[in-house]
Amino acid sequence: MIRADELATYLDTIARTVAQELRPELQTSHARKSADYVLEVLTRLLAQARAGEQIAAAQGQRWSRLCSDMGISSGVAVADDGNVFASFERDLDLLQQRWSAGAVIQQPDSPWFTEAVGASEALLEAIEVSCLPTSTAPSTAQEDDDPKTLARQLSAYLKRRLRELPDDVVAELKIAPGGNTKRTALLSLQPNAALPERLVLRQDRPVNLTGTQVTDEFPIIDRLHTLGIRVPTPILLEPDGSRLGGAFMLMEQVDAHPAGTYFAEDRVRLPRFIGPQFARDAAAELARLHRSTEVQRIDSKADRAVLRQGIAQAY
């Protein structure tokens, strides 16, 4: 049995070792980013071990009242085992399940909804404040996310797969910012008869916190494209991660226009980014998707079990 104070000490030791001793020795940006993801996980675990009980005690009573208003018996107030944090998490799970089960959704201007938003904001802020980052030692390794290197490697790969392509077919490659769980690059190819001249590469990273992989994504995009849904045209999938440092897929590059912003204040200032046609287009695509994939009946117990499993995974 590991006590909470011991767990915090162990996690802190591991995090400092990774940050100060292991990460500086890593030779590629992929490996260093993998270490950064590990450090982020360790930092959050460390914050939970150190401050979880205090956060739960400070925030729990407010959430207990919100649970009670939704007809849920809170466990925070009666947490006689001393583990307030676990009781707090159970309360939040029960509240989420209540909403998912079809509980009446409160109006956005209702006192309960306003209080829930404020409680959520306070909880997230308390969690983030408790996550103090572990400082990392500087690294002298060379950056491996070099667009010219990737363009050269990809050109050689495509030439091996499609002999009719010209040498050095990738004329320009730009690595898109963001997307920490995937590497995304925009490609311009030399004129050729085999491939479109504008492509997008999407590649798995060594560490993937979301669990999604291009080998799972490509068949879905291919299926949607076959159904006539407006998605990029899938070109090819390479599942072998040793070919280019990670499994990847290529899609045709499309021009997209911003649909709008999440925030009403910004939509007022920038109304040109969104309009009624966007809603009609989105509804038409959803209708086409549902019509094309409709299942008339589910007869067997096995099919029902698969359906229930899918719902559970989505939840």
Which residues are registered as beta bridge partners of 184? 202
Q: What pTM was computed for the model?
A: 0.54
pLDDT at position 224 is 93
Print the SS3 string covering 237-274. Answer: EECCCCCCCCCEEEEECCCCCCCCCCCHHHHHHCHHHC
Q: How many CA atoms lie within 13 A of 38 on its CB side?
A: 19
**Residue 20 backbone dihedrals phi, psi, to 5 degrees:** -95, -25
The pLDDT assigned to 279 comes to 79
pLDDT of residue 7: 84
Element (H, E) at 49: helix 29-69
The answer to whether 85 and 48 have CB atoms below 8 angstroms apart is yes
Token pair for residue 5?
Answer: 């104070």
| Alpha-carbon gap, residue 13 to 17, rounded angstroms | 6
In this predicted structure, what is the pLDDT of residue 308? 85
Q: Which neighbouring-strand residues pair with 255?
A: none
- Roughly how many angstroms between the first and final C-alpha of the chain, as a whole number? 31
Q: Tell me which DSSP letter residue 75 carries.
A: S
**How far is 202 from 179, CA to CA, in rounded Å?**
10
pLDDT at 158: 95
Report residues of the chain scoring pLDDT below 50: none
Decide: 240 and 204 in contact? Cβ < 8 Å: no
Closest CA to 290 of 225, 229, 220, 234: 229
What is the distance between the alpha carbons of residues 184 and 145, in angstroms, rounded to a whole number? 11
The pLDDT, as a whole number, for residue 135 is 77
User: What would the two tokens of residue 62 be?
Assistant: 């407010």
Instruction: Tell the burial category of 276 from Cβ atoms under 10 Å away from its Cβ (0-12, 13-18, 19+).
Output: exposed
CA distance readout (Å), 173 to 191, 196, 232? 15, 14, 18
Burial of 30 (0-12, 13-18, 19+ CB in 10 A): middle
pLDDT at 174: 93
Q: Which of 300, 192, 304, 198 is nearest to 251 (CA)?
A: 198
